[in-house]
Amino acid sequence: MLHAFPDLADQSVWLVVPLVAGLIALRYVVLAGGALALITTFGRRLRHRRIQPIPFARRQLWREFGYSMLTALIFTLVGLFTVTVGREWGLSKVYLDPDQHGLVWLLLSVPVVVLIHDTYFYWTHRFMHLPSVYERVHKVHHLSTNPSPLAAMAFHPLEAVIEAGVIVFLTMLVPIHIGVLAVWALYMFATNVMGHLGYELLPRGLATHPLFGWLNTATGHNQHHRTFRSNYGLYTTIWDRLMGTLHPRYAELYDRTTGSRPTPDAAERPVNTGAPS
């Protein structure tokens, strides 16, 4: 079938695979590894911001790292397929000239891309929590009930394909400048690392703030890993609030973790049902 896609059939294209995969892996090591080094070095000073008291196990860290390296390769292949086949079929709307769609769209496309991805992530995440799908695909990611930053890309290969599918979807749906694509990819990964940090570094009161309460937090995603349900969003809590899937004690746990409530309550204690929802 490669002869049907001249770009893919060109052997020089495949030389890019190890380079791109290496760059994705390097980004993972710098951001996820750097975050792990940070919380390890300053763990004692940050202990009042720790969401769960459970330590990261060495076996857990190696598992998260191994799956993440596989994900880096899958992301590379999906991205390569999108660029080559998308251009061959005239489906890809990625462009290089910033003047092609004007400065207004160039700036506006950043939040547009983020909100589209937030929607894509929420609904595919809900899909992967269907019992039959969860057991075969998403369970790998949930093996870490107290995830470390290294879990940011620790996906089953099929989940990695689903996660990378947003690139195909976005490049077909809206015009995206290559620079915007790069900025979004960096922001996406940084948000994912933050969600798996295990420590809440955002300020007190944010979970219920009238302007910024829609932003997702490390507390929210960590709570998802503990309960196996609720808090399905990535960048925001918008869809969780609209669909009634925000954990009822999310704000309580956030307040407790950030020191807004000095008295421990039930929101602090892990609740692992063992079943997806």
Q: Strand, coil or helix: what is 197? A: coil
Q: Could you give the angle at the alpha carbon of 146 between the alpha carbons of 264 and 113, nearest 5°?
A: 105
Q: What are the residue ranges spanned by the domains of the chain? A: 2-199
The predicted structure's pLDDT at residue 80: 80
Spell out where 144-200 has E strands: 176-177
The predicted structure's pLDDT at residue 94: 86
The predicted structure's pLDDT at residue 11: 54
The predicted structure's pLDDT at residue 4: 40
* 21-to-85, 169, 182, 194, 239 alpha-carbon distances in Å: 19, 21, 15, 22, 32
The predicted structure's pLDDT at residue 229: 85
Average pLDDT for 126-154: 96
The predicted structure's pLDDT at residue 87: 67
Q: Which residues contact 89 (CB under 8 A, 6 or more apart)?
A: none
The predicted structure's pLDDT at residue 122: 98
- Residue for token pair 């490669």: 2
Condensed to tens digits (0 to 9), the pLDDT of residues 169-182 reads 999 999 999 899 99
Residue 263 has pLDDT above 60, yes or no: no
Condensed to tens digits (0 to 9), the pLDDT of residues 106-130 reads 999 999 999 999 999 999 999 999 9
Residue 25 has pLDDT above 70, yes or no: yes
Q: Which residue has the higher pLDDT, 8 or 138?
A: 138
Q: pLDDT category, 79, cuts 50, 70, 90?
A: confident
Residue 265 has pLDDT above 70, yes or no: no
Residue 3 has pLDDT above 70, yes or no: no
Q: Which residue has the higher pLDDT, 85 or 140?
A: 140
Residue 217 has pLDDT above 90, yes or no: yes
Q: pLDDT category, 13, cuts 50, 70, 90?
A: low
- Residue for token pair 């763990």: 43
Alpha-carbon gap, residue 24 to 186, rounded angstroms: 10
